[in-house]
C-alpha cells in the first residue's frame, strides 16, 4: 500500500509538472500569435487615419468601424475602398521592393507581359509587348511579339499563371500563332531576374519621307530615375530631334500605363509651344476631397502647387504646334494626363484605340518616422485632375482621331513602318500611303489583369502632405 501511494504521488507530481509545461507553451504560443496581431492592428489604425484625411472618397468610408478587430491590414484597406469609382488604390507590405520597381531599377526579367486566354478555355498565354534593352529577357533573346505558353514545362491557367510568371528564374516554352490557335514551337528561353536600368525610352528613330523629317519614340513609363537619369534620356533625344531638323513627332504610348507626374510634365514641356512653357502656363489642376481642398486653399492659396501644376522649364523644348500620340486601351494615367494637358495649347492627334480612362492621382504614403515602425505603404486615390479648360472624368478613355486596333499576334518590331498604327500616323503626316495592313477588330482573346498592372496604372503625385503638414500627422 505504501508503495502504491508513493507511486501515485510521483505520478501526480509528473502530471502537475506536465500541466505547467503545457500551460507555459500555450501562453508562449499565444504571446507569439498576439504580437503580430497587435502590430497589424497598429498598421490598420495608421492606414485608417490617413484614409480619413486624404482619401478622395473619404465621405464614402464605412460609418462604423472597430479598427481593433482589423488584424489583416490589406483586407481592411480594401474594405475601405469605394468600389463604385475606385479601381486603383493599392497597398503593399513591402515598401522597399515597390520603391525599387517605381524607381526604374527593378529586379525582374525585363519584359512586359500581356496575359490572355481564348474565350471558352482556361489556358493562359503571354504575348510580349516589349523587352527592355540590356535586360535578362533581352540577353536571352526574347523579342516583342513572342508568345510564351509554358513556364518550366507547366501549362499556365487562370489560377496559376501569375505565380508561375513571378518566379525569379524559369524556362519559358515559346508558342506560335496560326489559324487562331497557339501551339508550342519547340523553342525555349531561360531567364533569371536581375537588377537593371529600366529606361522607359526604349526606342527612337527619325524618318525622312518625302519632304518631312519625323521623330518617333517609344515611351513605356513615366519615371524620372535616380538623379533624373531618365529625364536626361529625353533631353538627348530632343536634342537629336532639333539637330535633325524634324518637322513632326510621334510619341508611342501604347504600353505606357502611367507613373510619376513630373516626367509627364517634363515631356509636355519638351513638346509644347515655347510661349506656353516660358510663361509657365497651367498644365493640370488638382481637386481633392472637401476637407483637403479647403485645407490647401486656406493654408496655401489658390496658386498652391498642391492645386495647380504648371509647365516646368525645359531648355530642350522643340516648340511644336502639333504632336501625334499612339495609344491603346493600356495607355493610362500619366499618359492620358499628358494628352489632355497639351490639348488646350496645341494640335494633339491620337492614333490607335481608346485609352484606359484614368483621371485620378495618388500619393505614396508609408511610415515617415525614423526608423519606420513597419514596411507597409498605401497608395490611395487622393485627387482627380483636369486640364486648364476643366476637362476631366473621361471614364471611357480618350477616343482616337484615327482608329486602328493593336494586334500583338501580328506585332512588328518598333520602328517598322509596316506597324499599322505607326503607319497610320506617318500617312496622316505625309499624305503618302505606306500600304500597311490595318485592322479595326480587337484581337480575339481575353486580356487578364494583374497586381503589377494595377500598380503601374497610376499617377504618383508628389505632395507636401507626405512631409506631415496635416495637424493629425
At 48, list the grid cell: 485608417
Backbone angles phi, psi at 176, to 5 degrees: -130, 140
Number of domains, the chain: 2
Residue-wise pLDDT tens digits, 375-415: 999 999 999 999 999 999 999 999 999 999 999 999 999 99
* Residue 283 lies in domain: 201-362+381-439
pLDDT of residue 339: 98
| 191 and 206 within one domain | no
pLDDT of residue 120: 84
pLDDT of residue 256: 95
User: 111-121 as b/e, with b when 16 or more CB fall inside 10 Å?
Assistant: bbbbbbbeeee
| 275 and 133 within one domain | no
Average pLDDT per block of 10 residues along the chain, 473 residues long: 43 45 46 68 95 96 91 96 92 83 77 92 95 97 98 96 95 93 96 94 96 97 93 97 97 94 96 98 97 94 94 97 97 96 98 95 89 92 96 96 93 95 96 73 74 64 54 47
pTM for the complete prediction? Answer: 0.86
In a domain, residue 66? The reply is no
| 185 and 119 within one domain | yes
pLDDT of residue 418: 92
| 276 and 235 within one domain | yes
pLDDT of residue 96: 79
Which of 173, 195, 217 corresponds to the end of one domain? 195
pLDDT of residue 99: 75
Cell 491603346 -> residue: 328
Residue-wise pLDDT tens digits, 299-355: 999 999 999 999 999 999 999 999 999 999 999 999 999 999 999 999 999 999 999
CA 158/CA 173 separation, integer angstroms? 17
| 207 and 189 within one domain | no
In a domain, residue 417? The reply is yes
| 387 and 312 within one domain | yes
Instruction: Show Cβ contacts of residue 304 under 8 Å, excluding neighbours closer than 6 positions.
Output: 296, 297
| 244 and 352 within one domain | yes
Q: Give whole-number Cα distances, 194 to 159, 364, 440, in Å.
A: 26, 25, 39
In a domain, residue 148? The reply is yes
pLDDT of residue 91: 93
Among 135, 168, 164, 136, CA closest to 148: 164
| 219 and 328 within one domain | yes
In a domain, residue 376? The reply is no
CA 89/CA 54 separation, integer angstroms? 12
Question: What's the burial of 281, exposed, middle or buried (CB within 10 Å: 0-12/13-18/19+)?
Answer: middle
pLDDT of residue 398: 98
In a domain, residue 76? The reply is no
| 166 and 227 within one domain | no
In a domain, residue 418? The reply is yes
CA 380/CA 57 separation, integer angstroms? 10
CA 336/CA 339 separation, integer angstroms? 5
Which of 163, 195, 227 corresponds to the end of one domain? 195
Q: How many CB atoms lie within 10 A of CB 32?
A: 9
Which of 195, 216, 243 corresponds to the end of one domain? 195
| 207 and 181 within one domain | no
CA 100/CA 107 separation, integer angstroms? 8
Residue 347, classed as helix, strand or coil, is strand
248-252 and 322-327 beta bridge pairing: parallel
In a domain, residue 48? The reply is no
| Residue 421, domain CATH | 3.90.226.10
| 393 and 291 within one domain | yes
What DSSP designation does 210 have? T
| 286 and 182 within one domain | no
| Residue 124, domain CATH | 2.30.42.10
In a domain, residue 347? The reply is yes
* CA 236, 242, 244, 250 torsion-angle sign: positive
- Rounded to 10 deg, the angle between the 290-300 and 2-54 helix axes is 60
Amino acid at each position: 500500500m505504501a508503495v502504491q501511494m508513493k507511486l501515485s504521488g510521483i505520478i501526480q507530481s509528473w502530471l502537475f509538472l506536465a500541466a505547467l509545461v503545457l500551460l507555459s507553451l500555450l501562453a508562449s504560443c499565444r504571446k507569439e500569435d498576439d504580437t503580430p496581431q497587435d502590430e497589424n492592428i497598429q498598421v490598420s489604425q495608421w492606414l485608417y487615419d490617413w484614409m480619413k484625411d486624404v482619401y478622395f472618397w473619404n465621405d464614402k468610408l464605412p460609418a462604423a468601424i472597430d479598427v481593433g478587430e482589423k488584424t489583416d491590414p490589406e483586407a481592411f484597406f480594401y474594405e475601405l475602398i469605394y468600389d463604385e469609382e475606385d479601381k486603383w488604390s493599392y497597398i503593399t507590405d513591402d515598401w522597399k521592393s515597390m520603391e525599387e520597381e517605381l524607381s526604374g531599377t527593378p529586379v525582374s526579367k525585363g519584359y512586359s507581359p500581356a496575359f490572355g486566354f481564348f474565350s471558352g478555355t482556361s489556358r493562359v498565354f503571354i504575348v510580349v509587348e516589349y523587352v527592355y534593352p540590356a535586360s535578362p529577357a533581352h540577353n536571352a533573346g526574347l523579342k516583342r511579339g513572342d508568345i510564351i505558353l509554358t513556364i518550366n514545362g507547366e501549362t499556365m491557367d487562370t489560377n496559376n499563371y501569375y505565380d508561375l510568371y513571378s518566379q525569379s528564374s524559369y524556362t519559358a516554352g515559346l508558342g506560335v500563332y496560326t489559324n487562331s490557335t497557339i501551339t508550342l514551337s519547340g523553342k525555349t528561353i531561360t531567364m533569371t531576374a536581375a537588377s537593371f536600368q529600366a529606361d522607359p525610352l526604349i526606342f527612337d528613330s527619325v524618318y525622312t519621307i518625302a519632304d518631312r523629317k519625323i521623330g518617333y519614340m517609344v515611351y513605356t513609363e513615366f519615371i524620372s530615375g535616380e538623379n533624373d537619369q531618365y529625364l536626361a534620356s529625353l533631353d538627348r533625344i530632343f536634342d537629336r530631334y532639333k539637330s535633325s531638323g524634324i518637322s513632326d513627332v510621334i510619341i508611342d504610348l501604347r504600353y505606357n500605363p502611367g507613373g510619376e507626374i513630373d516626367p509627364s510634365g517634363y515631356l509636355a514641356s519638351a513638346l509644347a509651344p515655347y510661349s506656353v512653357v516660358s510663361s509657365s502656363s497651367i498644365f493640370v489642376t488638382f481637386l481633392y476631397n472637401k476637407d483637403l481642398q479647403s485645407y490647401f486653399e486656406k493654408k496655401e492659396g489658390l496658386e498652391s502647387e498642391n492645386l495647380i501644376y504648371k509647365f516646368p522649364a525645359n531648355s530642350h523644348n522643340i516648340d511644336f504646334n502639333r504632336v501625334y500620340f499612339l495609344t491603346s486601351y493600356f495607355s493610362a494615367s500619366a499618359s492620358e494626363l499628358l494628352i489632355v494637358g497639351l490639348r488646350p495649347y496645341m494640335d494633339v492627334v491620337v492614333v490607335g484605340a481608346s485609352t484606359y480612362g484614368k483621371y485620378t492621382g495618388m500619393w505614396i504614403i508609408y511610415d515617415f518616422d525614423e526608423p519606420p515602425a513597419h514596411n507597409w505603404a498605401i497608395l490611395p486615390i487622393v485627387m482627380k485632375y483636369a486640364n486648364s479648360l476643366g476637362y476631366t472624368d473621361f471614364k471611357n478613355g480618350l477616343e482616337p482621331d484615327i482608329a486602328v486596333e493593336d494586334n500583338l499576334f501580328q506585332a512588328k518590331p518598333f520602328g517598322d513602318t509596316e506597324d499599322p498604327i505607326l503607319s497610320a500616323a506617318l500617312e496622316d503626316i505625309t499624305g503618302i500611303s505606306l500600304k500597311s495592313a490595318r485592322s479595326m477588330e480587337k484581337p480575339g482573346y481575353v486580356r487578364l489583369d494583374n497586381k503589377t498592372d494595377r500598380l503601374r496604372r497610376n499617377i504618383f503625385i508628389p505632395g507636401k502632405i507626405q512631409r506631415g503638414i496635416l495637424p493629425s500627422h
